[in-house]
Structures are given as structure tokens and as C-alpha cells.
């Protein structure tokens, strides 16, 4: 599997890895293909043939997923997907399914003590929870919730860190047919109320605080304030994570430990609430940087089928595997990590700073937990790369066989870093999807080669393409990422969007009847893909569209540059103003020499159109609470839009950072640029 030599300077698309015969033969996708041959007489010359069948014979493909994974259901499939338009398509009519039942299905065959959850935080050492313990606690808590009068369709929400108690609360909620939603404890009061206020929750699971960077953060005041804005809440389940005194509240408060103190409930006597395809499973929220967050509702059937497919066939998970991705409970990647359980794999949880105790701490944790699939954002990996971390020399990572880089576009250097500094026989994959679908649209496959920065393939069953402005497919060119056929994990609806107008405007208004995802993408002739950032923050220079990731990939290779953000503002008369902001290593200043080097590298490695009009040193680059660069809000701010219509501070990872960008936007020279151009 190893590559004999990797060039010191890697180019986009360069071959980095080929699966060995043994690795490919053992892959989950190989077993599925063998099953298709035995049971349906189907065979395919390559992955492209398999993918084309999965989107052209949609009913047969998704029925095969249902049958191959033996989905447990009351009633059989009467209709795989409803005929007619993609928008509003409904899946698996005639079935009644429960998502939590499938998350816990492996418990019945797990060996005594076999691990379901590995978990740690800044104040809790690495520990493990068996399938039997996890299942037992879920059933006890679910039974207690039923005794409190919770019925299918009630909303239950969480304001807790990434700890096993949150997983247990989610699974217990879903097991009885209630609808789950979660906010990370670092979210501010306004951010939480904007989310939970839309869905009128009945019960709140809350922790007294969390830790980050070695500091405890008391959230009791925030919880009291949140409850005062949520009149629908009838009770609070309290987790004393920091051990702080319980605050005064008008709502009944039940200690989490007491909720688990009931008698054991066996698998045989517990009844999961199997629900119809239109029943809400959970509500995920968009970032909400420029308006009320979208309340995105998914269904049980769609998530069961999609997560069985993507986590097993594309992520190659199954019993004996362990998945980690650095995330918080406020991001869809938390749901994705928990979904590893649906394959029989273990989920690895961590809460806290990813660099607490050293920038290599996540690798130490990966070694301690025997993680097999390690996931992190490209930004975090870039920090490790620039710090000179060499995890493969420091830790026993022999259990690790794959890496998932997600959350933002990757660079060739990111891929190369894993092979040079972790292991030279890793399957490294970048994937891209979104909160809207809670899965990947373009993803990895363990039987395909790895090319630098390239996402390996389209996801099975997802009819995804790049289109130009006229709605024509483009290959080896950058275009809008679109999905041209229905997918099971598409939202059922947005909560509160009674006429569906907001849902339609979000995805279907640009190309009638076609899902426009909002990303810029390029598909290669060999079937791989590149994502170049959000299309609503596209840089339009002299009639040429540029993805912001193209600039970041070059700028952040320059020594001293930690992070960057670029925007392009249209000005009267057809001109443009394109400033770039850079965050530098401590002690570095943006002098003329560094500006010249950045401009030269962008001109040579990209094109003259990629060179910004100005480069400014910023204290840091602004991100949302879910780790997305705030390109569009900063662009609107610089263009002179009122801040209250541009961005919510509560949606920012570092709200105080907004003041620097406000000061920049209010400068006289910037005002002149946005009216006269650069």
C-alpha cells in the first residue's frame, strides 16, 4: 500500500496511494459487490459503473441497501421513492423504522465488554463504555422519559458537551420517537434561543459547564437565561459536569444520575417506537450567521439507509473499527460520529481543546483509544504541519488505517503531510457534504487510489454533478455543485416553514427542480472531485470565477502565514475590490517582503487573477461556531451593509473578533475602494 517516494513538493492530483490487494479484498464495498453478484447477478467493470447504476436504477439500488443491511421495519417497502419532482420526494413508503434501534443493533451480538464508546475530555481520562452498558442506560433513560409523559413527536434538546451522557440522551430520545436537537455548551444565549425557540422543546438536557484550553466555563447563568426564553420547557435533566451547585430554576430539575437509577430494562422487554417516513428524527441547524438558522428536519428511514451506506461502504466501518472526528455537539459531524455505531463500529468522543497538552494531543488520544479512522479539519492539520508535528514517530498508531479530512477544502500538502508524518500506508480521504443532508455528497472509497487533495468519488445513490451557469454539466472545469435526483437524506422540511418557501429558496430556486448545494466543485474525468468553497462567496475577477480555496491553498503554504480569508466586492462601473486578510505566526509582521512573497506565490502557483488588491494582517480569521470561514458576512460588512443585517456575534467562534473587521470596514480608504474599486 505504501508509496515508495513522495515528492517534497506535491501537486494537486498527484498519485499518493494505491490500496493493496488484501486491503481492497477486505473492504466493505467489496463484500457488498460480491453480494450483488450472488443475489442479483450484477457486476460492474469499475466504481463508475456501480455509481451510474446506483443513480439510474434508484429503486433497485436503495432496495439493495435495505436488504443487504437487513433494515428492521414494521411493514415492507411499498414504494422506494415517490414519483415526480425531486423536491418533496418521499422515501420508503409502507415502512416504520427507528434510528436508535439500528444504532444499538450490534449490542445483541457484541461480546461481553466489547467497546461501543471510547471517550475522554480535558477533565475525564480516556475510558470505555461497552455495548451492554450503553444499551442498558439508553433503555433505562428512555423508559424514564416515557414515564414523564414524553410521546412521539415531542422535542427534547441538549446543551451539553461531547460526552457519553449526550449520546445516551440522544439515543433514548430517538428510541421513543421524540425529536432530538443539540447545541454545544459554548453557544451563547441568543444563539441557543434562536435555535430551540423555533421547535418549542418539552425537555432540556443541560450540563453546568464545560472546559476548553484548561479553563472551566460555568454555563449556569446561560442555562437560566435560556430557560426564561423557552416557555415550552417542562423539565430539565441536569448533568453536574463541573460539579457546580445547582442553580435556582422554576422548572423541575432531575439529576442525570437519578434518571439512570431505575431498574434495568432488557432488550426483549423494551419497545422501540418505529415511526413512519415523515416522522422527524432530529433537527439540525445551519450556522445562522446572517439570519435565523434554518431548522433542518431529517427522518428515521432516510438516515438509517444513508448512514448504513456511507459509514459502511464509503468509510469502511464495521465491528472492530473505531471512528474519531474532532467535533462539538453543535455540528452535524457529531451525529456522524455517533452514526458509526450503526455499522457495529465504536465511536470515539473527545471534548475540549484539540491542542490541550500539546498540538499533538489528538494523536496521543488516537493511540490510547486504538482509533482506526481519524478525522479532523484541514485547518487543524495545517497547524500541526506548520508546528512540525510527527505523530508517527511519537505514538503507536498501528491500529490506524484511514484518515478523513472534512469541514473545508483540503490542499495537496495536507494529504502529503499524513503520508510523511503519520504513516505511509494510510488511506487518506477528503469528503464533503453538509448539515442539510447530514452525510457526504462526494466521498471516499477504500478500493480506489488516493490523489493529492482529490475527493475520490461521488457517493453511491447521489446523482451529483458540476454545472455551469446555463445548467450544463462540466468536467475538469469548476461549476456549481448540484444534485439532480432525489436522495433519502434530504430534509423532510424546515421546522416552521409551513409553505416550504424557505426550503425551496435555499436549494431549488437557481435551477428549477434541481438541488443547488451552494459549493463550487470540479469533477475530473476519472471521477474524482475538488471542492473550492462556497459559491455565494465566489471571487469574480475580470469575468473569471475563482474559488476561495484556490487562494487559501497557496497563501497558507507561505512561511509565517497561519490562516487567511479573501473576499471580492463588486463596485460601480463593473469593477472589483479584492482584499485578503492573513493571520500570522506570533511575532511575525506583514511587511512589504511578505506581501511581495504572497503576491508572487499566488501569481506563479495560481494566476495573476488570484493576486488580491490588498493584503492586511488581521489578529485572526473569523469562523462560525461550526468551523466555517465567514467569507460572506465579512464581504457584506466591507461592502457597507449594516452589521446587524450581516452577522450575529453569537454565531461566531470568537465574537470579539468582529470589532476588528468592523473597524476595517469603516475606514475611509476602504469606503473609497468599495465605491471606486482598487
Higher pLDDT, 567 or 345: 345
Euclidean distance between CA atoms 632 and 50, whole angstroms = 38
Q: Which three cell numbers stand for residue 440?
A: 457526504
Average pLDDT of every residue of the chain: 92
Q: How confident is the model at residue 5 (pLDDT cuts 50, 70, 90)?
A: very low
Contact 577, 677 (CB under 8 A): yes
β-strand 544-546 against 539-541: which pairing, if any? antiparallel
* Local structure of residue 345 (DSSP, 8 states): P
Euclidean distance between CA atoms 561 and 583, whole angstroms = 6
78-129, pLDDT tens digit by residue?
999 999 999 999 999 999 999 999 999 999 999 999 999 999 999 999 999 9
Query: Which residues in 477-538 belong to E strands, given as ranges?
Result: 478-483, 493-494, 515-523, 529-534
Cell 474525468, residue?
525
DSSP element (H, E) containing 403 = strand 402-405
How far lies 593's CA from each of 596, 610, 658, in Å? 5, 18, 28
Looking at residue 447, its pLDDT comes to: 98
160-212, pLDDT tens digit by residue?
999 999 999 999 999 999 999 999 998 888 889 999 999 999 999 999 999 99
pLDDT at residue 236 tops 90: yes
How far lies 154's CA from each of 37, 123, 329, 429, 663, in Å? 44, 33, 20, 38, 45
Q: Which of 17, 29, 669 is nearest to 343 (CA)?
A: 29
Q: Give the angle 372-377-381 at the CA atoms, nearest 5°.
A: 85
Mean pLDDT across the stretch 30-58? 98
Mean pLDDT across the stretch 225-230? 97
Tell me the Ramachandran region of residue 547: left when phi exceeds 0, alpha when psi lies from -120 to 50, beta otherwise. beta
Euclidean distance between CA atoms 246 and 220, whole angstroms = 8
> For helices 412-421 and 378-387, what crossing angle results, to 10°?
60
Q: What class is the 538-676 domain? A: alpha beta
pLDDT at residue 542 tops 60: no
pLDDT at residue 438 tops 50: yes
* Local structure of residue 291 (DSSP, 8 states): S
Query: Which sequence spans correspond to the domains of the chain?
Result: 99-529, 538-676
Q: How confident is the model at residue 545 (pLDDT cuts 50, 70, 90)?
A: low
Mean pLDDT across the stretch 499-503? 94
| DSSP string computed for 615-648 | EEE-S---BBTTS-B-HHHHHHHHTT--GGGT--
Euclidean distance between CA atoms 409 and 282, whole angstroms = 27
48-72, pLDDT tens digit by residue?
999 999 999 999 999 999 999 999 9
Neighbour-count burial for 304-315, b at 16+ CB within 10 Å, e otherwise: bbbbbbbbbbbb
CB atoms within 10 A of CB 245: 8
Q: Taking the CA of residue 349 as centre, how many other CA atoms within 13 Å lie in the half-sphere pointing to its CB?
A: 28
Three-class DSSP category at 265? coil
Q: Would you state the torsion angle of the CA atoms of residues 193, 198, 204, 209, taken in this order, to the nearest 10 degrees?
A: -30
Euclidean distance between CA atoms 303 and 332, whole angstroms = 12
β-strand 575-577 against 569-571: which pairing, if any? antiparallel
Mean pLDDT across the stretch 564-569? 89
The CATH classification number of 99-529 equals 3.40.50.12780
Looking at residue 6, its pLDDT comes to: 41
283-326, pLDDT tens digit by residue?
999 876 556 889 999 999 999 999 999 999 999 999 999 999 99
pLDDT at residue 427 tops 60: yes
Euclidean distance between CA atoms 45 and 29, whole angstroms = 14
DSSP element (H, E) containing 544 = strand 544-546
Amino acid at each position: 500500500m505504501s508509496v515508495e517516494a513522495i515528492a517534497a513538493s506535491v501537486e494537486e492530483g498527484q498519485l499518493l496511494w494505491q490500496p493493496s490487494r488484501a486491503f481492497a479484498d477486505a473492504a466493505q464495498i467489496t463484500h457488498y459487490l460480491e453480494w450483488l453478484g450472488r443475489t442479483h447477478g450484477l457486476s460492474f467493470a469499475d466504481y463508475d459503473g456501480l455509481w451510474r447504476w446506483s443513480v439510474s436504477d434508484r429503486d433497485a439500488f436503495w432496495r439493495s441497501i435495505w436488504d443487504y443491511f437487513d433494515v428492521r421495519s414494521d411493514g415492507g417497502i411499498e414504494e422506494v421513492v415517490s414519483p415526480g419532482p425531486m423536491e418533496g420526494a418521499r422515501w420508503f413508503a409502507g415502512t416504520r423504522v427507528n434510528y436508535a434501534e439500528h444504532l444499538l443493533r450490534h449490542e445483541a451480538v457484541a461480546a461481553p465488554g466489547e467497546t461501543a464508546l471510547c471517550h475522554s475530555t480535558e477533565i475525564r481520562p480516556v475510558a470505555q463504555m461497552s455495548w451492554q452498558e450503553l444499551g442498558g442506560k439508553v433503555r433505562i433513560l428512555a423508559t424514564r422519559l416515557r414515564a414523564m409523559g414524553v410521546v412521539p413527536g415531542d422535542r427534547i434538546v441538549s446543551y451539553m458537551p461531547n460526552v457519553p451522557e449526550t449520546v445516551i440522551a440522544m439515543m433514548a430520545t430517538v428510541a421513543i420517537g421524540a425529536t432530538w436537537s443539540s447545541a454545544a455548551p459554548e453557544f451563547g444565549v441568543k444563539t441557543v434561543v434562536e435555535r430551540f425557540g423555533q421547535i418549542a422543546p418539552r425537555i432540556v438536557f443541560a450540563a453546568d459547564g464545560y472546559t476548553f484550553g484548561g479553563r472551566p466555563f460555568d454555563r449556569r447563568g446561560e442555562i437560566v437565561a435560556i430557560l426564561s426564553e423557552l416557555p415550552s420547557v417542562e423539565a430539565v435533566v441536569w448533568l453536574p459536569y463541573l460539579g457546580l451547585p445547582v442553580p435556582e430554576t422554576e422548572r423541575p430539575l432531575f439529576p442525570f444520575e437519578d434518571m439512570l437509577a431505575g431498574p434495568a430494562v432488557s432488550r426483549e422487554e423494551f419497545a422501540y417506537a418505529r415511526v413512519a417516513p415523515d416522522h422527524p428524527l432530529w433537527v439540525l441547524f445551519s450556522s445562522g450567521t446572517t439570519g435565523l438558522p434554518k431548522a433542518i428536519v431529517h427522518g428515521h428511514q432516510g438516515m438509517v439507509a444513508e448512514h448504513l451506506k456511507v459509514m459502511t461502504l464509503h468509510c469502511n466501518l464495521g465491528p472492530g473499527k473505531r471512528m474519531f472526528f474532532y467535533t462539538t455537539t453543535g455540528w452535524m459531524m457529531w451525529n456522524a460520529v455517533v452514526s458509526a455505531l450503526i455499522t457495529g463500529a465504536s465511536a470515539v468522543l473527545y471534548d475540549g481543546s484539540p491542542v490541550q497538552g500539546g498540538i499533538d494531543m489528538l494523536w496521543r488520544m488516537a493511540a490510547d483509544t486504538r482509533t482506526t479512522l481519524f478525522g479532523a479539519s484541514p485547518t487543524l492539520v495545517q497547524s500541526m504541519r506548520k508546528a512540525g508535528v510527527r505523530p508517527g514517530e511519537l505514538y503507536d498508531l498501528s491500529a490506524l488505517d484511514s484518515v478523513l479530512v472534512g469541514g473545508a477544502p483540503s490542499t495537496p500538502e495536507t494529504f502529503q503531510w499524513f503520508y510523511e508524518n503519520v504513516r505511509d500506508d494510510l488511506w487518506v480521504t477528503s469528503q464533503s457534504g453538509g448539515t442539510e443532508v447530514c452525510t457526504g455528497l462526494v466521498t471516499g472509497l477504500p478500493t480506489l487510489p488516493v490523489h493529492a487533495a482529490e475527493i475520490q468519488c461521488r457517493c453511491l445513490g447521489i446523482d451529483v454533478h458540476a454545472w455551469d451557469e446555463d445548467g450544463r454539466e462540466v468536467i475538469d472545469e469548476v461549476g456549481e455543485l448540484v444534485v439532480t435526483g432525489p436522495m433519502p437524506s434530504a430534509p423532510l422540511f424546515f421546522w416552521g416553514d409551513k409553505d416550504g418557501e424557505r426550503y425551496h429558496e435555499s436549494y431549488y430556486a437557481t435551477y428549477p427542480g434541481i438541488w443547488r448545494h451552494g459549493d463550487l466543485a470540479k469533477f475530473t474525468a476519472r471521477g474524482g472531485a475538488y471542492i473550492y468553497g462556497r459559491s455565494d462567496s465566489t471571487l469574480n475577477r475580470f469575468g473569471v470565477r475563482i474559488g476561495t480555496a484556490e487562494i487559501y491553498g497557496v497563501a497558507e503554504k507561505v512561511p509565517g502565514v497561519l490562516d487567511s480569508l479573501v473576499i471580492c466586492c463588486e463596485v460601480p462601473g463593473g469593477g472589483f475590490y479584492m482584499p485578503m486578510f492573513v493571520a500570522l505566526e506570533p511575532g511575525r509582521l506583514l511587511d512589504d517582503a511578505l506581501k511581495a512573497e504572497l503576491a508572487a506565490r499566488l501569481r506563479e502557483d495560481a494566476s495573476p487573477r488570484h493576486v488580491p488588491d490588498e493584503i492586511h494582517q488581521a489578529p485572526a480569521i473569523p469562523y462560525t461556531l461550526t468551523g466555517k470561514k465567514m467569507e460572506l458576512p465579512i464581504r457584506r460588512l466591507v461592502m457597507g451593509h449594516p452589521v446587524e443585517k450581516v452577522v450575529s456575534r453569537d454565531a461566531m467562534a470568537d465574537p470579539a473578533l468582529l470589532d476588528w473587521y468592523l473597524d476595517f470596514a469603516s475606514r475611509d480608504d476602504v469606503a473609497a475602494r468599495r465605491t471606486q474599486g482598487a
